[in-house]
């Protein structure tokens, strides 16, 4: 997607159509899973920029699951904490469970599959949790 730097333009019609599509996709979703590599203890600039193009209109009341990966042996807790803070600020509901995968370079096969069944089970579980609570929340709204 072509998502340029968010510069709070007065005329938002000058943003590429991908920004409009991003907003529409997030706005129509009942739940989301956000993921990011950890860079210097926080989320990627690309994800932060994409989120900056969104507003309360797209995220308020959405159920969100969080995933982060780290290159080193420590988990990506800084990234997860920052994503949680951003989502909460936008009035999204962040599910309690989250997934952090350390040593990401060693976590995947050359074909892109996770080596550890536990990692895959945690990711699938997170997706199921987001879907479950998003469905309940939508039915109650």
User: For the whole model, what pTM was predicted?
Assistant: 0.92
User: Per-residue confidence at 83, pLDDT binned at 50, 70, 90?
Assistant: very high
Q: Is residue 80 part of a domain?
A: yes
Q: Is residue 3 part of a domain?
A: no
User: Per-residue confidence at 75, pLDDT binned at 50, 70, 90?
Assistant: confident
Give the pLDDT confidence of 84-102 residue by residue, as tens digits.
Answer: 999 999 999 999 999 999 9
Total domain count, the chain? 1
Q: Residue 72 belongs to what domain range?
A: 15-140
Give the pLDDT confidence of 18-29 residue by residue, as tens digits.
Answer: 999 999 999 999
Sheet of strand 31-37: strand arrangement: 31-37, 63-69, 93-101
Query: Could you tell me which residues come within 8 angstroms of residue 112 by beta carbon, excluding any fewer than 6 positions away?
Result: none
Q: Is 86 exposed, middle or buried (0-12, 13-18, 19+ CB in 10 A)?
A: buried
CATH number at residue 28: 3.40.50.360
Name the average pLDDT for the chain: 94
Helical H segments across the chain, by residue range? 17-28, 45-52, 56-59, 77-89, 104-107, 117-140
At residue 63, the 3 state secondary structure works out as: strand
Please give the Cα distance from 87 to 74 (Å, whole number).
Answer: 23
Give the pLDDT confidence of 98-138 residue by residue, as tens digits.
Answer: 999 999 999 999 999 999 999 999 999 999 999 999 999 98
Structure tokens at 84: 């949680």
């Amino acid at each position: 997607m072509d998502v340029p730097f968010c510069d709070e333009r007065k005329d938002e019609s000058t943003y590429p159509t991908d920004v409009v599509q991003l907003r529409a996709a997030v706005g129509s979703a009942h739940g989301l899973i956000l993921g990011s590599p950890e860079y210097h203890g926080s989320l990627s600039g690309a994800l932060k920029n994409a989120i900056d193009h969104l507003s309360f209109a797209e995220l308020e009341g959405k159920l969100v699951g969080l995933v982060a990966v780290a290159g080193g042996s420590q988990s990506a807790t800084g990234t997860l904490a920052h994503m949680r803070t951003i989502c909460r600020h936008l009035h999204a509901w962040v599910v309690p469970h989250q997934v952090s995968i350390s040593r990401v370079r060693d976590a995947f096969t050359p074909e892109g599959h996770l080596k550890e069944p536990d990692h895959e089970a945690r990711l699938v579980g997170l997706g199921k949790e987001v879907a479950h609570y998003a469905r309940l929340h939508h039915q109650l709204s």
